[in-house]
Chains A and B, each alone.
Chain A
Amino acid sequence: NAGVTQTPKFRVLKTGQSMTLLCAQDMNHEYMYWYRQDPGMGLRLIHYSVGEGTTAKGEVPDGYNVSRLKKQNFLLGLESAAPSQTSVYFCASSYDRPYEKLFFGSGTQLSVL
């Protein structure tokens, strides 16, 4: 099984550019999440979704937008990238609740110059 797949794996942007990160899961999970990981700060929740067509803000939502048009996909958008958004981004999913097991993708390394 593929599990949770993130694309792309690496990306370099210039300040002000936009991009979309794609997360796809093939486990029929209801919950999906986007986290960012920064040194010394662990993982911080950006946005999450509890089902198709739903999204909600996490701890650090500013500068990001998300969409969950299909159950298996969760998109993270940066409309105008800033250097502060340089980070490693992880997508995760769980069957129905976050205190069940989360399955993580392998991450996207994003650099904003």
Chain B
Amino acid sequence: AQSVTQPDIHITVSEGASLELRCNYSYGATPYLFWYVQSPGQGLQLLLKYFSGDTLVQGIKGFEAEFKRSQSSFNLRKPSVHWSDAAEYFCAVVLISGGYNKLIFGAGTRLAVHP
């Protein structure tokens, strides 16, 4: 069955340090992949998405993600983290089932940023 796994539940980094959040997927075909961010008390906001083409995609707020088919991964990166990046991050994949496409989320990674 198709699934999305985020191995890290919590990550803490210092402000200014680099960041990598991991995401692995299980999917037979070429997946549509996403990263969403959720600030405290808010709904989710799309950071970036991958459908096809260049495997390195740029998103908002200085984030990027790289699709690696051989590793079934879509890891999110940022070279220098800001205190405002503290939030929960969700990887997601589109699931095609019964003729409809549905977005399936991973369990999320909560990011804390130390000053």
Contacts and interface: CB of A to CB of B under 8 A. Distances in A.
Contacts of A90: 43-44
Given A98-B101, A106-B42, A42 B107 contact: yes
A107 to B, nearest CB: 6
Name which of B34, B42, B43, B49 has the most chain A CB atoms within 10 A of its CB. Answer: B43
B17 interface: no
A110 interface: no
Interface of B is mostly: strand
Interface residues of B, number: 25
Given A40-B9, A41-B107, A102 B44 contact: yes
B103 A102 contact: yes
Contacts of B98: 56
Interface of A: 4, 33, 35, 40-45, 48, 50, 56, 58-59, 90, 92, 97-99, 101-102, 104-107
- Closest 9 interchain pairs by CB? A104-B43, A42-B105, A42-B107, A99-B32, A43-B105, A98-B103, A99-B94, A104-B44, A101-B46
